[in-house]
Amino acid sequence: MFETVVAFTCHAMIVLITMLRVLLRPHREPASRIAWTVVIVALPGLGVVAYLLFGETNIGRRRAARMRKVRDLLPPAAADVGTEVLTADVPDRYQHLFRVGRSISGFPVVAGNQATLMADSNATIDAMVADIDAAQEHVHLLFYIWLPDRNGCRVVAALQRAAARGVTCRAMVDGLGSRGMVKSVHWQAMRESGVHVAEALPIGNPLWRPFVGRIDLRNHRKIVVIDGRITYCGSQNCADPEFLVKARFAPWVDAVMRFEGPVVQQNQHLFISDWMAYVDEDLRALLAAPEPESSGEVPAQVIGTGPTVRYSAMPETFQSLMHAARRELVISTPYYVPNESMQDALCAAAYRGVDTRIIFPARNDSWIVAAASRSYYAELLDAGVKIYEYVGGLLHTKSLTLDGEVTLIGSANMDRRSFDLNYENNILFYDRRLTGDVRERQEVYLARSTRVTGEDVASWPLRRQLWNNSIAMLGPVL
């Protein structure tokens, strides 16, 4: 009897301490505190374990210390975030958007860039391979997913050719997303041919990893920098559009832009910070090199976010853009699990008369996210947001266009994983012509989509509505 009382008391103390940690943890939304408290009370043993493994954004003390050291070593992205260095090429009505971006990564908006929207996924790989083949000094690649398929192996071969002629090639992948490539013969072949390779957030022992840092924190960035003159930014991983690991959802439909000009150095900064966090190689000299010469007229800015960057940085970026819309707001995203303020911002755009359209994939590779996303449809439709579901494959493009003049493109989704758990990179730019190109691509998506109406949502069976809303309730703890 005494042992039972002691065991119960110890268990109750553990539950109580965990709940206090939930309530005292900084930078947590009230909905998240409530959700975790309910989970811990309803499932005391399992709930405590779940919270310890997945309840906090913990990258691990060693990794966090290494990243802080690298951050302190690297030159600042700009001299003083508080000073006014905004380019006159950005109208006053949009300058606050770039101030938000600068407050996150420290990168100022820089003029003098030019960019091209790639035609499709295969054309993107064609252009990357051509640029790698023309490289003279260095090639830097970072991908969340790099598959050993046709396109993936084409990039492998291009890197090997570049290394053979004396170009310094560095390739980094996420330890989970690209585990197939890391375990393949191609990874070792690249290393043997002189390509420097590295894993971001390697998992190591999967049984031990969760106890020293969350196993599901990932580097979701897609960065290519060539000779410090060319960079690519968009949603595409290094793979075929058929995406054989999830072929039943194919083709993967992505959008990537190729940039030249001063903004390249900002993507270079992100890559180097990631590389030096895992590799003992000092690349600061590359950041001291002169910025690429201005080759165009596009003001652009890199926005890099992640679990060790400012809390809520990515949703703040999206919300600022939504609130700035006056005529038109068009968004494509495969994953939509917003926080309350983002959902409110999107609804508010429609309420004030902005033509607000959002495009999702009709078939999502994540059944959890698909259900959670659809739980928000009714409120969006009631506000006047027009919802479309793309039926030509898995629409993976992450794009936002604002009033036909401003574009955000990159790797970040509109879900809590991109907000809190993933390292992401995006580029924000102001240019009517380039934004027009992105709008044309969005119109292609719309033409291949089915519009979802309020009547459609109202006709969903009760069990489907219950399922969607129940999954959405887990959003704050996912």
Q: Are 317 and 304 in contact (CB under 8 A)?
A: no
Q: Kindly name the residue from 396, 415, 420, 431 that is annotated as catalytic.
A: 396
222 is catalytic: yes
The one catalytic residue in 216, 227, 344, 437 is 227
Distance CA 412, CA 418 (A): 6
The single residue of 222, 254, 274, 420 carrying the catalytic annotation is 222
266 burial (CB, 10 Å; 0-12 / 13-18 / 19+) is: buried
Which residue type occupies 219?
A: N
The DSSP element (H or E) to which 111 belongs, if any, is strand 110-117
Q: What is d(CA 131, CA 158) in angstroms, rounded to the nearest whole number?
A: 9
Query: 437 catalytic, yes or no?
Result: no
Which entry of 254, 365, 398, 415 is annotated as an active-site residue?
398
Q: Could you give the C-alpha distances from 22 to 58, 178, 213, in angstroms and in order?
A: 14, 33, 17
398 is catalytic: yes
Residues present in the chain in total:
478
- DSSP track, 188-220: HHHHHTT-EEEEES---STTTGGGTS-TT-EE-
Residues 6+ apart with CB under 8 A from 276: 70, 73, 74, 282, 283
Omega within 30 of 0 (cis) for the link into 290:
no
Q: For tokens 């495009």, what's the residue?
A: 359
Active-site hit among 220, 240, 254, 415: 220
Q: Is 220 annotated in the active site?
A: yes
| CA torsion through residues 219, 221, 222, 225, sign | negative
Catalytic-labelled residue, pool 131, 403, 415, 431 = 403
Q: What is the largest CA-CA distance in the chain?
A: 80
User: Can you read off the two tokens belonging to residue 77?
Assistant: 């992205």
For the question of residue 386 being annotated catalytic, the response is no
**Catalytic-residue membership of 323:** no
Catalytic residues: 220, 222, 227, 396, 398, 403
